[in-house]
């Protein structure tokens, strides 16, 4: 089937003239990287989230790597990660030498819960250095319950909030403000709520962790606290102007001024983005609620965690493919033929061949049940209300054999 209506991807950035002007201004300036646009973005992100410190970086993967590194995660440590997440939540801790312990998730929300975390902690035994709840689709895991369990286990918390910028926790505080987690990580990838092209941020209330991340994103280069005075200082006692020391081997994870300028401009639009995403999600909810019962038995919105106020990065439905009589690839193909993109978030990490090889097969029925049914539908700021109706109509039609 062909369609003359525009294709609806599952996610897409929204770029306006102000965004373009912000990038152009940097291109005309003296600083393409390590310049004032980076500082301005960090200040704006800290203000928007209420975080004492915001450290930006090259992408959300780098943000996770910096966060785990700042906590000192390394060989001998265990890190608990929900199985339903993007690769980076686990792979960055693995790269640092930690063992990953996969927690199961609620089958209807894909979020780590107090029960699934407790079960993972019981399996892990001692040595859990960090717990990394993921606010999947923009819904927050229950951070009050997770915080209590983490404290009891002596573990730090890295909140993977790559989907959750613009959301609020149960007390109405912005995600990223540091109410529970020691560190909170964000991605500025174009399908996320604010786009920098590539980009990431870590927020924290802990100045020492922020400082460690600033060093790690910049080769571990320090221009203070020199340990080799014979090389550091000139005869007059002043520091040699070219001199720096490597505190430890590290990486170049800097965000450029070009990306930072786009990110700042997008951040100014965040309240509008969040309002539109919430309106689109509410329209999906209402449309699905109005479907006949035999259709709702086959396709329905994913569950609600009931914790906090999401900014909805993804709109996920749960489909009983067996009852529908088609598998997920066929449904995705038929939606595509209607000009509708869809995606799966995610193949659970305990099913990834690499992790199976590392840790053997795991029994995580919640993650498997989510994976068997989940499909992310188009959700982006530029969508029209009618686009939502079109997506729901298409799914309705599939259920009715049309
Ligand atoms: C939950 C989650 N964590 C981490 C990342 C990594 O972010 P980035 O793509 O910016 O490296 C992503 C992005 O796909 C993500 O969805």
**66 Cα to the center of ligand 1, angstroms:** 14
Name the pairing type of β-strands 78-82 and 99-103.
parallel
User: What ligand 1 atom has the least distance to the C-alpha of 345?
Assistant: 16
Residues of the chain where predicted confidence (pLDDT) is lower than 50: 2
Residue for token pair 């990486």: 251
**353 Cα to the center of ligand 1, angstroms:** 20
pLDDT at position 144 is 93
Mutating to test ligand 1, I would choose from 84, 91, 187 the residue with most ligand atoms within 8 A of its C-beta, which is 187
Single out the residue of 42, 342, 312 nearest to residue 193, CA to CA. 312
**86 Cα to the center of ligand 1, angstroms:** 6
For the chain, percent of residues with pLDDT exceeding 70? 99
Please tell me the distance from the alpha carbon of residue 267 to that of residue 361, in angstroms, as a whole number.
Answer: 41
Alpha-helical regions (H) of 96-228: 114-124, 143-153, 207-216
Please tell me the distance from the alpha carbon of residue 308 to that of residue 91, in angstroms, as a whole number.
Answer: 28
Instruction: Show the tokens assigned to 178.
Output: 């540091």
CATH class belonging to 17-269: alpha beta
The pLDDT tens digits of the residues spanning 3-38 come to: 578 999 999 999 999 999 999 999 999 999 999 999
Contacts of 95 (CB under 8 A, 6+ apart): 65
Mutating to test ligand 1, I would choose from 10, 56, 59, 60 the residue with most ligand atoms within 8 A of its C-beta, which is 60
Please name the residue whose Cα sits nearest to atom 7 of ligand 1: 60
Contact criterion met (CB below 8 Å) for 5 and 390: yes
**89 Cα to the center of ligand 1, angstroms:** 8
Architecture of the domain delimited by 271-399: Alpha-Beta Complex (3.90)
**97 Cα to the center of ligand 1, angstroms:** 20
**292 Cα to the center of ligand 1, angstroms:** 36
Mutating to test ligand 1, I would choose from 112, 189, 345 the residue with most ligand atoms within 8 A of its C-beta, which is 189
Single out the residue of 286, 298, 272, 259 nearest to residue 33, CA to CA. 259
Mutating to test ligand 1, I would choose from 83, 86, 111 the residue with most ligand atoms within 8 A of its C-beta, which is 86
pLDDT at position 341 is 98
Q: Which residues are catalytic?
A: 192
Does the predicted TM-score (pTM) go above 0.75? yes
| Domain residue ranges of the chain, discontinuous segments joined by + | 17-269, 271-399
**59 Cα to the center of ligand 1, angstroms:** 8
The pLDDT tens digits of the residues spanning 364-395 come to: 999 999 999 999 999 999 999 999 999 999 99
Domains 17-269 and 271-399 share a fold: no
Please tell me the distance from the alpha carbon of residue 224 to that of residue 228, in angstroms, as a whole number.
Answer: 11
The pLDDT tens digits of the residues spanning 54-90 come to: 999 999 999 999 999 999 999 999 999 999 999 999 9
**385 Cα to the center of ligand 1, angstroms:** 28
pLDDT at position 3 is 55
DSSP E strand stretches across 35-90 = 53-57, 78-82
Contact criterion met (CB below 8 Å) for 84 and 346: yes
Helix (H) or strand (E) holding 201: strand 200-204
pLDDT at position 5 is 85
Q: 10 Å Cβ neighbour count for 65? A: 28
User: What ligand 1 atom has the least distance to the C-alpha of 189?
Assistant: 10
Please name the residue whose Cα sits nearest to atom 5 of ligand 1: 60
CB-defined site of ligand 1, < 6 Å: 59-61, 85-86, 88-89, 134, 160, 162-163, 187, 189, 200
User: What ligand 1 atom has the least distance to the C-alpha of 136?
Assistant: 1
User: What ligand 1 atom has the least distance to the C-alpha of 62?
Assistant: 11
């Amino acid at each position: 089937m062909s369609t003359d209506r525009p294709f609806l991807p599952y996610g897409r950035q929204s770029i306006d003239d102000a965004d373009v002007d912000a990038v152009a201004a940097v291109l005309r300036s003296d600083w393409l990287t390590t310049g004032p646009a980076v500082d301005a973005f960090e200040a704006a992100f800290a203000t928007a989230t209420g975080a004492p410190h915001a450290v930006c970086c090259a992408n959300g993967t780098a943000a996770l790597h910096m966060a785990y590194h700042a906590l000192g995660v390394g060989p001998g440590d265990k890190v608990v990660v929900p199985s339903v997440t993007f690769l980076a939540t686990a792979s960055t801790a693995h790269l640092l030498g930690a063992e990953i312990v996969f927690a199961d998730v609620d089958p209807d929300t894909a979020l780590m819960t107090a029960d699934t975390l407790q079960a993972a902690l019981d399996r892990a035994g001692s040595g859990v250095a960090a717990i990394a709840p993921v606010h999947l689709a923009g819904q927050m895991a229950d951070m009050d319950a997770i915080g209590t369990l983490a404290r009891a286990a002596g573990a730090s918390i890295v909140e993977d909030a790559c989907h959750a910028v613009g959301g609020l926790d149960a007390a109405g505080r912005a995600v990223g403000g540091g109410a529970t987690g020691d560190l909170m990580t964000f991605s500025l990838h174009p399908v996320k709520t604010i786009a920098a092209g590539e980009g990431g941020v870590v927020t924290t209330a802990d100045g020492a962790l922020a400082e460690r991340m600033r060093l790690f994103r910049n080769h571990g280069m320090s221009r203070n606290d020199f340990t080799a005075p014979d090389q550091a200082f000139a005869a007059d006692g002043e520091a040699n102007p070219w001199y720096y020391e490597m505190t430890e081997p590290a990486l170049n994870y800097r965000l450029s001024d070009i990306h930072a300028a786009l990110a700042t401009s997008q951040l100014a639009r965040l309240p509008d983005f969040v309002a539109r995403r919430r309106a689109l999600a509410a329209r999906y909810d209402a449309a699905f609620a109005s479907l006949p019962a035999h259709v709702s038995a086959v396709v329905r919105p994913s569950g609600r965690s009931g914790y906090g106020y999401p900014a909805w990065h993804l709109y996920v439905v749960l489909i009983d493919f067996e009852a529908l009589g088609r598998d997920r690839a066929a449904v995705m193909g038929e939606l595509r033929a209607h000009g509708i993109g869809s995606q799966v978030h995610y193949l659970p990490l305990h099913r990834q061949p690499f992790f199976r090889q590392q840790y053997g097969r795991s029994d995580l029925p919640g993650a498997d049940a989510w994976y068997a049914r989940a499909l992310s539908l188009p959700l982006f700021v530029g969508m029209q209300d009618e686009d939502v109706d079109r997506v729901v109509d298409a799914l309705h039609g599939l259920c009715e054999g049309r």
